Amino acid sequence: MQDINIKITDRDGVTHDIVAPTDMAMNLMEVVRSYELAPEGTIGVCGGMAMCASCQCYVTSETKLPEMGDDEEAMLSEAFDVKDNSRLGCQIQMTPEMEGLEVELAPES
């Protein structure tokens, strides 16, 4: 089992140092939910299918992320508060390569 250290800034501007498991096939949205960093029902509304953008976040670290898929790109093109560094948390898998990832949750739309 290998855990990674990531930082998540919640919608109130509070930064949380998180230890995330890499052996449970979790994505960033699920980590946010498991640590209760966003109110219930405000993140991952579609269940992680890249269909709602409620898990949009801004990647603030230089962490190399996988390429954005077509579904994620299409969803972000319709979302609010999108920035150049926007990604959907449900599309970022917790892998050893994500060590040091830093993100800020986008405002609730």
pLDDT greater than 80 at residue 45 = yes
E strands of 46-100, at which residues?
A: 56-59, 86-88
> pLDDT tens digits, residue range 73-83?
999 999 999 99
Please tell me the pTM assigned to this model. Answer: 0.95
CA distances from 3 to 6, 15, 90, 98, 108 (A): 10, 19, 18, 10, 28
Give the tokens for residue 36. 């209760």
> pLDDT tens digits, residue range 47-96?
999 999 999 999 999 999 999 999 999 999 999 999 999 999 999 999 99
Q: How far is 63 from 48, CA to CA, in rounded Å?
A: 21
Which CATH homologous superfamily contains domain 3-105?
A: Beta-grasp domain (3.10.20.30)
Task: List the domain boundaries for the chain.
Answer: 3-105
pLDDT greater than 80 at residue 28 = yes
Q: Which of 24, 11, 27, 12 is nearest to 98 (CA)?
A: 27
